[in-house]
């Protein structure tokens, strides 16, 4: 049985740790805490990873150590190295097209200009991997979306961010244990704008 590769997209370093763009990475860090796994640098690949067992499902939790826009090649390298099928890859990522606090689990589809997803699609040579989309909302006014996602969450949003990270971790576990339909039924939710 092929292991599941759960990828938390984000940017490296303390400067980006609390930004909207790093919420996917926070989901993987939360899973690592829950499953008591330490993410360690993998030799010759720009990722930190750790292996866990979640009720019989083998998970490899992974955080690219590259910037978001070039995270695909190290992820693809590890999928080949560990012989993981693309249909066992789950990418957790920020999504500006979903209202803040919303969550959607899906398979494949458009990247909607998300550069981390573009990089993954190119490196994996397919868009057909699972996604846990974490709503961070659209930027206010005319603010550039690229600048917006690199800003930290507002103080008033932090409790909801923590809840969204927990829900994202739950969605990943439901997906790998029970499949896409169960994960969508249980976890997909849209918060009104």
10 Å CB burial of residue 81 (0-12, 13-18, 19+) is exposed
Q: What sign results for the dihedral spanned by CA atoms 124, 128, 130, 132?
A: positive
Distance CA 91, CA 133 (A): 8
Check: CB of residue 89 under 8 Å from CB of residue 9. Answer: no
Candidate list 21, 93, 114, 187, residue with the active-site label: 21
Alpha carbon dihedral 25, 157, 113, 143, in 10-degree steps, equals: -140
Alpha helices, H only, 13-88: 23-34, 72-81
Question: Does residue 21 have an active-site annotation?
Answer: yes
Active site residues: 21
């Amino acid at each position: 049985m092929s292991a599941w590769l759960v990828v938390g997209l984000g940017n490296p370093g303390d400067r980006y740790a609390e930004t909207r763009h790093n919420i996917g990475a926070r989901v993987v860090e939360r899973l690592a805490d829950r499953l008591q796994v330490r993410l360690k640098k993998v030799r010759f690949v720009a990722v930190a990873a750790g292996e866990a067992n979640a009720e019989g499902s083998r998970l490899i939790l992974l955080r690219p150590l590259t910037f978001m826009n070039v995270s695909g090649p190290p992820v693809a390298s590890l999928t080949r190295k560990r012989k993981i099928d693309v249909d066992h890859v789950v990418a957790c990522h920020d999504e500006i097209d979903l209202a803040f606090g919303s969550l959607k689990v899906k398979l494949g589809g458009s990247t909607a200009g998300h550069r981390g997803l573009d990089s993954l699609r190119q490196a994996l040579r397919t868009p057909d991997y699972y996604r846990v989309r974490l709503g961070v909302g659209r930027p206010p006014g005319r603010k550039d979306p690229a600048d917006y996602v690199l800003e930290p969450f507002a103080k008033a949003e932090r409790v909801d961010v923590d809840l969204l990270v927990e829900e994202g971790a739950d969605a990943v576990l439901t997906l790998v244990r029970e499949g896409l339909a169960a994960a969508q039924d249980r976890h997909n939710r849209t918060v009104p704008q």
